[in-house]
A and B are shown apart, each in its own frame.
Chain A
Amino acid sequence: ILNVEQSPQSLHVQEGDSTNFTCSFPSSNFYALHWYRWETAKSPEALFVMTLNGDEKKKGRISATLNTKEGYSYLYIKGSQPEDSATYLCAFRNNAGNMLTFGGGTRLMVKP
Chain B
Amino acid sequence: DTGVSQDPRHKITKRGQNVTFRCDPISEHNRLYWYRQTLGQGPEFLTYFQNEAQLEKSRLLSDRFSAERPKGSFSTLEIQRTEQGDSAMYLCASSSLPGQGYTGELFFGEGSRLTVL
**How many angstroms from the CA of A34 to the CA of B45 in the assembled complex?**
15
Scan A42-78; emit 1 where CB is below 8 A from any B CB, else 0: 1111100100000000000000000000000000000
Docked complex Cα distance between A57 and B109 (Å): 25
Check: A26 CB closer than 8 A to any chain B CB. Answer: no
Assembly CA distance A49 to B95 (angstroms): 13
Report B18-53 CB contacts with A as 1/0, cut-off 8 Å. Answer: 000000000000010101000011111100101000
For B31, what are the chain A residues with a Cβ–Cβ distance below 8 Å?
98
User: What's the minimum C-beta distance from A37 to chain B, rounded to whole angstroms?
Assistant: 11
Chain A residues with CB under 8 Å of B48's CB are 98-99
- Judge whether B43 and A49 touch: CB under 8 Å: no
Contact present for A42 and B43 (CB under 8 Å): no
Q: Which residue of A lies closest to B97 (CB)?
A: A98
Asked if A89 is an interface residue, CB under 8 A from chain B, the answer is yes
Partner of A97, one of B42, B56, B103, B106: B56
B43 touches A102 (CB 8 A): yes
The reply to whether B109 and A100 form a contact with Cβ atoms under 8 Å apart is: no
Q: How large, as a class, is the contact surface on chain B? A: 20 to 34
Any chain B CB within 8 A of the CB of A32?
A: yes
Contact present for B110 and A4 (CB under 8 Å)? no
What separation, in Å, do the CA atoms of A46 and B33 have in the docked complex? 15
**Considering the chains assembled together, what is the distance between the CA atoms of A58 and B56 in angstroms?**
33
Q: How far is the CA of A105 from the CA of B89 in the complex (A)?
A: 15
Most buried by A among B44, B56, B103, B106: B106
Chain B residues in the interface with A (C-beta under 8 A): 3-4, 31, 33, 35, 40-45, 48, 50, 55-56, 91, 103-111
Task: Enumerate the 6 nearest inter-chain pairs by beta-carbon distance, A residue then B residue, closest first.
Answer: A102-B42, A43-B108, A46-B105, A44-B108, A49-B103, A43-B110
Q: Beyond A43-B4, A43-B91: 9 further Cβ-contacts under 8 Å?
A: A4-B42, A36-B108, A44-B106, A46-B103, A49-B105, A89-B42, A100-B106, A102-B35, A102-B42
